[in-house]
Amino acid sequence: MRGHVLILMNIAKTLTRYVLASYNVRNYPSLFSSFNSHILRRHTLPTHTHTPFASMPSSTTIKLNSGHEMPLVGFGLWKVNNDTCADQVYNAIKAGYRCFDGACDYGNEVESGQGVARAIKDGLVKRSDLFLVSKLWNSFHDGPRVEPICKKQLKDWGLDYFDLYIMHFPIALKYVDPEVRYPPGFTDENGNVTPSKASIQETWTAMEKLVEGGLCRSIGVSNFRGVLLMDLLRYAKIRPATLQIEHHPYLMQEGLVKYAQDEGIAVTAYSSFGPQSFLELDMQQAKDAALLLDHPDVKKIADKHGKTAAQVLLRWATQRNVAVIPKSNNKDRLAQNLDVLGFDLQDEDMKAIKAIDRGLRFNDPLNYGVPLPIYV
């Protein structure tokens, strides 16, 4: 019997080497997770046998569990002004961006679509070259509300389908008619924060129908914690393709990232520069935190590699197969933010950045004065 076990272990090791040699494991999380769960968990491998970050190969996309490819670096549309949005999207496409992360709540989907339409008209790209993302807002979680609002958002963008449609928050609020106020924000027509009775399961089931109806190619979630993700996976007929979370060296959420990736769910980071994104919102928590772009350890690593601090922060994520969605109005920074896959941080760099973690979250409804304690 012992001889049989040793033979099986040798076969497992051989297969592991074959998988690692034949694939970019980070691009096939579901494949590796399945292989891992059925074979490798029976024989725990020592941590030193894992491939170090610095030697992992780079790729420009992540293979989603839906079968579609998502760029590792995209352009985030949060806080992009309406009067400049169309031009910013157009210029970003011209600079090489192919993924754009939008949302109902950002209030600029019409202008985003105009930038895309102009780029397609001018022959810069085809629709199939782009990966366009939008999100379901809290006020439309009731099952019958999901498809109509998705269709409205598609019309605003001038699209037939979204590549990815995300549940923005695990929060269900009272419906607000778009004719009354759009985007609705956190309050109802009377200015109150009023919950809806829709469960996450009800909302997710309605989102699955969007995929079945061809309105979305993939669906995902955002701002979920591990326990909600675990619950969702119990009943989901279509597994979430992505998890979008606040993720930067002040808030690494390593356990959540690992759990999602082990389940074959791609992780996208927003607010990769930490407090920088929230200063213009006059958020006290952001004012009290030192800027990550000025952090001495980040700047030291940037100088060593001949890169900017922003590039280091973005590479720290993408090197761990976490997608990023920065934005910029500046032509040079547009190019720099996109150029974060052509170099590797060393293990000592990754460890130095890891030491910065403070568990400091900025994008919490409570920080905006909204009484929805989803992270307590």
**Residues designated as active site:** 106
Cα–Cα distance for residue pair 149/84, rounded to 1 Å: 25
144-150: long-range pairs with CB below 8 Å, 24+:
144/206, 145/175, 145/206, 146/203, 146/206, 146/207, 146/209, 146/210, 147/206, 147/209, 147/210, 147/213, 147/215, 149/104, 149/178, 150/210, 150/215, 150/216
Strand partners, 266: 242
Phi, psi dihedral angles at 141 (to 5 degrees): -80, -20
CA dihedral 255, 256, 261, 263 (to 10 degrees): 100
CB atoms within 10 A of CB 262: 14
* Cα–Cα nearest to 337, from 74, 131, 61: 74
Cα–Cα distance for residue pair 67/128, rounded to 1 Å: 15
Cα–Cα distance for residue pair 341/54, rounded to 1 Å: 12
- Count of alpha carbons within 13 Å of 332, Cβ hemisphere only? 3
